[in-house]
Structure 1
Amino acid sequence: MTTTEVESVPTGAQIQAARDGVARRLLKGSSSRSYDPVVDIDWAAPFVPGKYFLPPRVMSLYGTQVWDAMTPEQRIEMSRQEMANIMSVGIWFENLLNRALLISLMKEDPAAATTHYSLTEMGDECRHMTMFGRAIETTGTRAYALRRWQRTVMHLIPVVMRGTALWVITLVGEELFDALQREIKDDPELQPMVSRVMQIHVTEESRHIGFARDGVMRRIPIRSRFDTLLASSVHGLAAPIFRHLFTNPEMYRRAGFDNPKEIARVARANPNFHDSQVTSFASLAAFLEQAGLMNRFSRTMWKRAGFLR
């Protein structure tokens, strides 16, 4: 490596300075445009008859013979259960992110702007978890619990959320939901309360995604081979987990089906649902390719799970 090449590689101090600049900008945005779901959502407003809790076009059974055989009332109930399931998954992953950020802050400068923004982000995520939980309660459904093995995985994941992997796993947990919500938040078939929840989440989550993407890109010049291998592989493990969570048999049972496991298999084979999955993953997939973090293993896993073609 020549002297010029050595000098072109940013130092840790330069990267931190650049990250601090991004963090200060995001802190200003947070101070001027943040929400308190307790007061910024009208939880007492009645639901609009005939409207859905998720638009039919993004639901797991839409376009199947099972869907065609359902009554309008059954379809709305399925949307209510599917919404509660998605919001439950959102709560788990925001909990995971907060725990990983808390661990990482143990070794960070408490006076740095990046630390202050991480703390602000955790505050946002706590309000989001409250908002999702309140939405589940308001719709009269119940949250969907993790199985024991899933809880074990969630406890272990923060152990590997270091370096680039921290921000990649953060993006996987945030962008899949963000892309879906951006597509449907203004849908006229959506219940106003659910639409408002999604609008708030998209607004605040855009800052979190920007911070995580910046974290990935800033590390490119200093990434070790191990850091690259870990970050480009570990996110592929999320693909089958999301496939299962988004077609959780329990939500079909709660919606009134006597054969929930069979219905889940129908959903997983549904081309329309695959289109929705691909759409939700497209932006993140392109970013991971750009950052050199989509290897053969992770690409194969996302394809098998229906998120890539």
Structure 2
Amino acid sequence: MTAAKTTREEFAERLLKGSVKKSYAPVVDIDWDAPLDPDKFFLPPQVVTLYGTPQWEAMSRREQIELSRQELVNILSAGIWFENILNQALLRDLMHKNPTAATTHYALTELGDETRHMVMFGKTIARIGGTPVRPRLFHRIVINSLPFVFRGDVLWGAALVGEEIFDALQRQILDDPDLQPIVSRLMRIHVTEEARHIQFARDGLRKSVPTMPRHRRFVLANLHGVGGPFYRMLFTLPIQYRRAGLDGRRMRAAARANPHFRASCVSSFASLAAFFDDVGLMGRIGRSLWRRAGFL
């Protein structure tokens, strides 16, 4: 049966079977007692935001490793808050769905996966001796309001923006031999399970776009563009530099001007950008926002 002829229910059934065959329980599937290697990075050097800059070259290896630790803590913290938004949105959306449908059952399966990922991220931050990066009060108010907005097509678009950027980044780093083993294992688990979540969200949009009203398609094709400036802000938060003993504002400016960081951003968005183009959801405003943020 071709993908074009597969119904939404049949696609969900396939993902449910995949979840049965290959899912993880991070509490037992990661060796939390394994020692950390003091000479290994927490993120590969090439994806650290300052990599390749004069500031990076002036740092000792120990200082570079510490910056990679703080940037990992920042990324995992953001992952926890995003999973929180997605889970709330999924539960609210399911209130209006058929509880016997395979799509509902897969959404609940995804919700369970994301809950375990939040535990995995939190335990990793604690294991590597990090302090979570918490959103400010205003940001928490916005975060708590988003699940009321994320429904239907908007939910799938938001899920892709939230998941695919991180997924592409993780695929670049999970097999790096210079990476802490606990981080490699975390990335492997997350990539495996997120692949199904991404397929589910993509399938939802691919099937709904052809019958979507023009005004709704216009909104969706441009709304996702806010992800560009959001990620640019997120990846270069001054707090991660300050915690590594650096000047937060100066290092943020250096990172944003860093061609290596820009190339990493472009690479992480490439697959999602191609998908949005393919299904007709890359509007002029959305494209401009991603480009101005350095992702195109």
Pairwise same-fold verdict (TM > 0.5): yes
Partner residue of 2:287 out of 295, 299, 304: 299
Is 1:290 aligned to residue 293 of structure 2? no
Partner residue of 1:51 out of 40, 43, 51: 40
Residue 66 of structure 1: aligned partner: 55
Residue 103 of structure 2: aligned partner: 114
Opposite residue 72 of structure 1, the aligned amino acid is R
CA shift for structure 1 position 155: 2.1
CA shift for structure 1 position 170: 0.4
Deviations 1:243-292 (A, max 9, x none): 111101001000011x2111111111111000000000000000001111
What CA distance in whole angstroms lies between the structure 1 residues aligned with 2:231 and 2:172?
19
Residue 12 of structure 1: aligned partner: none
CA contact (8 A) 2:26 2:120 kept: yes
Deviations 1:213-263 (A, max 9, x none): 000000022111122122112111121111111101001000011x21111
CA shift for structure 1 position 150: 1.8
Is 1:159 aligned to residue 148 of structure 2? yes
Equivalences, count: 292
Opposite residue 26 of structure 1, the aligned amino acid is L
Residue 199 of structure 1: aligned partner: 188
Partner residue of 1:41 out of 22, 30, 34: 30
CA shift for structure 1 position 158: 2.3
What CA distance in whole angstroms lies between the structure 1 residues aligned with 2:125 and 2:43?
13
What CA distance in whole angstroms lies between the structure 2 residues aligned with 1:218 and 1:29?
21
Structure-2-length-normalised TM-score:
0.96
CA shift for structure 1 position 115: 0.3
Structure-1-length-normalised TM-score:
0.92
Residue 233 of structure 1: aligned partner: 222
Partner residue of 1:252 out of 235, 241, 244: 241
Residue 128 of structure 1: aligned partner: 117
Is 1:150 aligned to residue 139 of structure 2? yes
CA contact (8 A) 1:53 1:190 kept: yes
CA contact (8 A) 1:23 1:114 kept: yes
Partner residue of 2:93 out of 93, 104, 115: 104
CA shift for structure 1 position 47: 1.1
What CA distance in whole angstroms lies between the structure 2 residues aligned with 1:99 and 1:215?
18
Residue 64 of structure 2: aligned partner: 75
- Give unmatched runs, 5+ long, in structure 1: 1-14
Partner residue of 1:273 out of 258, 261, 264: 261
- SS of 1:230's equivalent in the other structure is helix
Residue range with higher mean Cα deviation, 224-233 or 136-145: 224-233
Residue 172 of structure 1: aligned partner: 161
Opposite residue 17 of structure 2, the aligned amino acid is K
Opposite residue 176 of structure 1, the aligned amino acid is I
What CA distance in whole angstroms lies between the structure 2 residues aligned with 1:163 and 1:33?
27
What CA distance in whole angstroms lies between the structure 1 residues aligned with 2:214 and 2:140?
30
CA contact (8 A) 1:165 1:230 kept: no
Opposite residue 217 of structure 2, the aligned amino acid is T
Opposite residue 275 of structure 1, the aligned amino acid is A
What CA distance in whole angstroms lies between the structure 1 residues aligned with 2:147 and 2:219?
13
What CA distance in whole angstroms lies between the structure 2 residues aligned with 1:230 and 1:111?
31
Larger Rg: 1
CA contact (8 A) 1:236 1:299 kept: yes
CA shift for structure 1 position 305: 0.8
Is 1:222 aligned to residue 222 of structure 2? no
CA shift for structure 1 position 152: 2.4
What CA distance in whole angstroms lies between the structure 2 residues aligned with 1:136 and 1:280?
23
